[in-house]
């Protein structure tokens, strides 16, 4: 098990490294960036950049310095607002985005897995078809489309919910729904098909032959096995929720990191783009790592590598 953890950790570091290098290369390859030569940026900005990125030194030194900065979570100054640094933006915006993403993830996970399980247990009956129909619709409507529709109907037309910002819990309902629907639908589908597979397994019949309560059979025997593939999916779902926050925050005018990121794209504020990309990527890669560990813990075939007593 330890070996497994170390493997995964090394993988994680490797991936972050690649991303950092990729961003570095890209930033220096494109012509006309503030890193290359003079653009229409003020002297103050130029000075900031030169100081932080050591632009007057050789490429190799720049690279090493850049790596060091990444590791220490220092992402440099912003171009659009020379007084603020990327770190300030992150500190301000990330907690908001994190809250949004976390709530959406929890909502999506609980309801998705629940719906999928119920659908599998009532295979081919009405509830199964209903859940699956909703799920297909759920994965087909992009989250930003859903968000705009929700605003149009529930906010503008019906006036039930506010359309923007993140102040009260009432404000949080629509953004969370828009963000959670697609992952929920994906989870429901995967849980259902995994559960259907598990239900046909011999050990399920064996559990029934033991006269155990249906509850115990479904949860202890069924879900334990059915959720294994679902867990591996959680990593990619976290990624899609994270990227989803970009558009959701833009649409709902939520002051999170995603919105700063989207703004920086429009204004071509490269340092912010770079810093945010690397930061977010690190988070995602870390989540994948956590998911791998969780899977290793859940599946005894991985967790125990010691030689059996057979």
Least distance in angstroms from the C-beta of 55 to another protein: 18
Residue 210 CB neighbours (<10 A): 10
Using CB under 8 A as the binding rule, the residues of this chain from 149 to 178 that contact another protein are 149, 151-152, 156, 163
166 or 280: CB nearest another protein: 280
Short-list 244, 289, 214, CA closest to 15: 289
**Binding of another protein at residue 202 (CB under 8 A)?**
yes
**Binding of another protein at residue 72 (CB under 8 A)?**
no
CB 42 within 8 A of CB 82: yes
Q: Is 77 strand, coil or helix?
A: strand
**Binding of another protein at residue 1 (CB under 8 A)?**
no
Using CB under 8 A as the binding rule, the residues of this chain from 246 to 305 that contact another protein are 246-247, 250-251, 262, 265-266, 268, 270, 273, 277, 280-281, 284-285, 288, 298-301, 304
Cα–Cα distance, 93 to 96 (Å, whole number): 6
**Binding of another protein at residue 139 (CB under 8 A)?**
yes
**Binding of another protein at residue 145 (CB under 8 A)?**
yes
46 or 236: CB nearest another protein: 236
* Residues whose CB falls within 8 Å of the CB of residue 150, separated by 6 or more in sequence, listed in order: 161, 174, 177, 178
**Binding of another protein at residue 52 (CB under 8 A)?**
no
Least distance in angstroms from the C-beta of 310 to another protein: 5
12 or 177: CB nearest another protein: 12
43 or 158: CB nearest another protein: 158
Q: Which of 107, 173, 212, 293 binds another protein (CB under 8 A)?
A: 212
Of 57-65, 77-85, 131-139, 165-173, which part binds another protein (CB under 8 A)? Answer: 131-139
Least distance in angstroms from the C-beta of 276 to another protein: 9
By CB under 8 A, how many residues form the interface with another protein?
Answer: 77
CB 198 within 8 A of CB 222: yes
Structure tokens at 5: 């953890």
Short-list 172, 174, 143, CA closest to 156: 174
| Length of the chain as a residue count | 310
Instruction: Give the 3-state secondary structure percentages of the chain, helix then strand then coil, rounded to 5.
Output: 75, 0, 20
* Residues whose CB falls within 8 Å of the CB of residue 52, separated by 6 or more in sequence, listed in order: 69, 76, 77, 271
**Binding of another protein at residue 5 (CB under 8 A)?**
no
Cα–Cα distance, 262 to 268 (Å, whole number): 10
Q: Which of 19, 105, 176, 291 binds another protein (CB under 8 A)?
A: 19
Least distance in angstroms from the C-beta of 68 to another protein: 21
169 or 308: CB nearest another protein: 308
Structure tokens at 113: 């897995």
Dihedrals phi, psi of 190, to nearest 5 degrees? -65, -45
Of 35-43, 73-81, 92-100, 243-251, which part binds another protein (CB under 8 A)? Answer: 243-251
Least distance in angstroms from the C-beta of 148 to another protein: 6
Cα–Cα distance, 106 to 241 (Å, whole number): 11
Structure tokens at 71: 């590791």
């Amino acid at each position: 098990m330890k070996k497994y953890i170390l493997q995964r950790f090394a993988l994680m570091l490797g991936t972050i490294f690649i991303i950092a290098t990729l961003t570095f290369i890209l930033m220096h390859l494109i012509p006309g960036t503030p890193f290359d030569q003079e653009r229409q940026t003020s002297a103050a900005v130029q000075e900031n950049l030169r100081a932080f990125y050591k632009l007057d030194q050789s490429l190799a030194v720049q690279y090493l310095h850049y790596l060091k900065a990444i590791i220490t979570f220092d992402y440099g100054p912003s171009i659009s607002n020379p007084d603020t640094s990327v770190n300030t933006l992150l500190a301000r915006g990330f907690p908001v985005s994190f809250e949004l993403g976390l709530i959406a993830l929890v909502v999506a996970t609980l309801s998705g897995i629940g719906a999928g399980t119920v659908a599998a247990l009532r295979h081919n009956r009405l509830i199964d078809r209903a859940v699956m129909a909703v799920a297909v619709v759920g994965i087909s409507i992009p989250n930003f489309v859903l968000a705009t529709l929700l605003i149009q109907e529930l906010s503008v037309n019906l006036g039930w919910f506010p359309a923007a910002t993140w102040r009260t819990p009432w404000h949080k309902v629509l953004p969370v729904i828009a963000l959670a629907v697609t992952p929920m639908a994906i989870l429901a589908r995967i849980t259902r098909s995994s559960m259907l597979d598990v239900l046909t397994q011999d050990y399920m019949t064996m559990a029934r032959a033991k006269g155990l309560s249906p509850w115990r059979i479904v949860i202890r025997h069924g879900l334990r096995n059915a959720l294994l593939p679902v867990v591996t999916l959680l990593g990619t779902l976290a990624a899609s929720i994270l990227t989803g926050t970009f558009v959701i925050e833009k649409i709902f005018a939520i002051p999170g990191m995603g919105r700063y990121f989207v703004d920086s794209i429009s204004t071509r504020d490269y340092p912010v783009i770079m810093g945010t990309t690397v930061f977010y990527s690190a988070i995602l890669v870390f989540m994948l790592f956590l998911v791998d560990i969780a899977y290793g813990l859940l599946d005894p075939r991985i967790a125990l590598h010691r030689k059996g007593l057979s």
